[in-house]
Amino acid sequence: MAKFSRSATAAAALLLAAPAMAQAPQGRAFFDRWDLNHDGKVTWEESWEHIQRRFVEADADRSGGLGLDEWLAAQLPGRPARPDRPAPDRQRERDRRTAMFRAIDANRDNQVTLTEIRPVAESWFRAFDANGDGAITPEELPRPTPRPPG
């Protein structure tokens, strides 16, 4: 179970904070939104500011915490359908995102707060800051791996 929780937590961090796939055109646009001062790198401060803004936008009832429904509504849409891969399984996506919510909800009160998100996001940031300079560049992000046909 601990292995699943670590995986879910890592995935949640990516969902919350990752300028993922910055090498693809749409991923580069995503990275650029996180790069608030447009210097070609994302610092921890820029990441945390972005996360806090997204959190406030997602907190529909202004409670200071995200319930599961708010969490699910705020998550990025799944991958768009492509002719070279099967259609996304919506229930599987919902289950995965629910597991992420549960993994981040450290005190098990069915609310995810910024206090609970921060250590996950910091861990993610350190993992992607390959050279340890306090900033993430597109070159430090993993490149998408091509999927085999069929």
Q: Which residue has the tokens 């995503």?
A: 30
Domain ranges of the chain: 2-77+91-140
Q: What is the pLDDT of residues 60-108, one digit of tens each?
A: 999 999 999 999 988 755 555 667 777 778 888 899 889 999 999 999 9
Nearest-angstrom CA–CA distance, 39 and 74 = 27
Q: Which amino acid is it at 11? A: A
80 with 93: CB under 8 angstroms?
no
DSSP string, 61-80: T-SSSB-HHHHHHHSPPPPP
Asked whether the whole model's pTM tops 0.75, one would answer no
Nearest-angstrom CA–CA distance, 11 and 62 = 25
CATH number for domain 2-77+91-140, candidates 1.10.238, 2.60.480, 3.30.450, 1.10.287:
1.10.238
